Homo-oligomer: A and B are copies of this chain.
């Protein structure tokens, strides 16, 4: 099924809410989701149609069943292996972020060019020399890289990744990457997030 980006985003948040539900809460209403996320009730119901779940009038959605349906729909069990490129502060923090695994994101290894870091382990993930990445990408069939190198190296490294067979780059740097069109880039624009939500000067 085709699911728009924004719906994928909200479905993960409904799942976060379902994670926190008490064992004795068998049902959850669309209003609860809507209130917690500060969105419209009708939006929640529209989103949940994508996961093919029937809510019951006045009772709501069966919590456990809905949770499972979201997991199936978004493929939490279909694990994707990823590399982290840049074993600095942010890269290491992401390597230690154990929640990723629950959502199908498995960090296989890390890469850096600093001889002091190469051969060390971060949360059980070995740091390899960046020159090994083409070989390992092919051997381990990895398509996704998380880019956390310093800004000034970002573009060079991104193109090196593209040439190594990486198909998706999750870009945590503030450099907008000029890479071949067959590589998909997602800019995790933290600065943009900060400015959006603290911007009191905007449309509702």
Q: Which residues of A contact B (CB under 8 A)?
A: 1-5, 8-10, 12-13, 16-17, 19-20, 36-38, 74-75, 80, 89-90, 92-94, 96-97, 99-100, 103-105, 144, 151, 155, 168, 170, 174-178, 184-199, 201-203
29 A-B pairs (CB sep. < 8 Å): A1-B201, A2-B203, A4-B203, A5-B196, A5-B199, A8-B195, A9-B189, A9-B192, A12-B191, A12-B192, A13-B187, A13-B189, A13-B192, A16-B174, A36-B177, A37-B176, A37-B187, A74-B199, A75-B199, A89-B92, A99-B174, A100-B190, A100-B191, A100-B194, A103-B191, A168-B197, A168-B198, A184-B197, A188-B190
A20, closest chain B residue (CB): B175
Q: Is the CB of A199 within 8 A of B93?
A: no
Copies of this chain in its oligomeric complex: 2
Nearest 10 pairs between A and B by C-beta?
A186-B197, A93-B93, A89-B93, A9-B192, A12-B192, A90-B93, A2-B203, A103-B191, A89-B96, A5-B196
